[in-house]
Amino acid sequence: MLRRHRQIRTQLHQLIDACIFAYSFWFAYHLREHPWVIEWLGLDPVAPFERYIWFYLALILAGPLVLESLGFYDRPQLGSRTKALWILFRGVLITTLGLVIALFFFRYYIARWVPIWFGGICFGLLVAKEEIVRWYWRKRLSLPQFQRRFVLVGAPEETARLRQQLERHPDSNIRVVAELTFENGACDRLVHLLHEQAVNGVIIAAAHSSLDQVEAFVRACELEGVEAWLVADFFKTEISRASFDDFYGRPVMVFRSTPEVSWQSVVKQLLDYVLALVALLILAIPMGIIALLIKITSPGPVLFRQLRAGLNGAPFTMYKFRTMISNAEQLKHELERLNEMQGPVFKVTNDPRVTPLGRFLRRFSLDELPQLFNVLRGEMSIVGPRPLPVDEVRRIHDPAHRRRLSVKPGLTCLWQVSGRNQIRDFREWVRLDLEYIDNWSLWLDLKILLRTIPAVLSGKGAK
Q: What is the pLDDT of residues 24-66, one digit of tens each?
A: 988 888 887 777 766 766 666 666 666 777 777 888 888 888 8
Q: Which of 18-22, 41-45, 188-192 has the weakest average pLDDT?
A: 41-45
Nearest-angstrom CA–CA distance, 459 and 463: 9
Nearest-angstrom CA–CA distance, 123 and 96: 11
What distances in angstroms separate CA 328 from CA 338, 355, 406, 463, one per listed residue? 15, 10, 30, 15
Q: Nearest Cα to 159, choosing from 120, 210, 121?
A: 210
Collapse the DSSP code of 355 into the 3-class scheme (helix H, G, I; strand E, B; otherwise coil) and give the result. Answer: coil
Domain spans of the chain? Answer: 3-142, 147-234, 263-458
Query: Residue 149 forms beta bridges with which residues?
Result: 175
| Contact between 370 and 303 (Cβ < 8 Å) | yes
| Contact between 406 and 257 (Cβ < 8 Å) | yes
Query: Residue 247 forms beta bridges with which residues?
Result: 250
CATH number of 147-234: 3.40.50.1380
- What single letter denotes the amino acid at residue 412? T
Residue 237 banded pLDDT, cuts 50, 70, 90: low
CA angle 179, 181, 185 (to 5 degrees): 105
The pLDDT of residue 343 is above 80: no
Query: Which has the higher per-residue pLDDT, 115 or 123?
Result: 123
Mean pLDDT for 79-104 is: 87
Mean pLDDT for 402-427 is: 78
Collapse the DSSP code of 387 into the 3-class scheme (helix H, G, I; strand E, B; otherwise coil) and give the result. Answer: coil
| Contact between 403 and 321 (Cβ < 8 Å) | no
Q: Would you state the pLDDT for residue 188?
A: 86
**pLDDT per residue over 287-320, tens digit each?**
999 999 999 998 889 999 999 988 878 889 999 9
Query: Which has the higher per-residue pLDDT, 352 or 149?
Result: 149
Q: Would you state the pLDDT for residue 463?
A: 54
Residue 124 banded pLDDT, cuts 50, 70, 90: very high
Nearest-angstrom CA–CA distance, 146 and 123: 31
Helices (H), 304-425: 328-331, 356-363, 371-376, 390-393, 399-402, 414-417
What does residue 202 show for φ and ψ, rounded to 5 degrees? -130, 130
Residues in Cβ contact with 314 at an 8 Å cutoff, skipping those fewer than 6 apart: none
Q: Would you state the pLDDT for residue 422?
A: 62
Nearest-angstrom CA–CA distance, 148 and 3: 16
Read off the DSSP letter of residue 364.
T
Mean pLDDT for 213-232 is: 81
Q: What is the pTM of this model?
A: 0.60
- What single letter denotes the amino acid at residue 103? L
Q: Would you state the pLDDT for residue 146?
A: 67
Nearest-angstrom CA–CA distance, 396 and 402: 7
DSSP 318-348: EEEE--B-TTHHHHGGGGGGG--SBSS----
Nearest-angstrom CA–CA distance, 158 and 162: 6
Mean pLDDT for 83-89 is: 91
Mean pLDDT for 70-81 is: 81
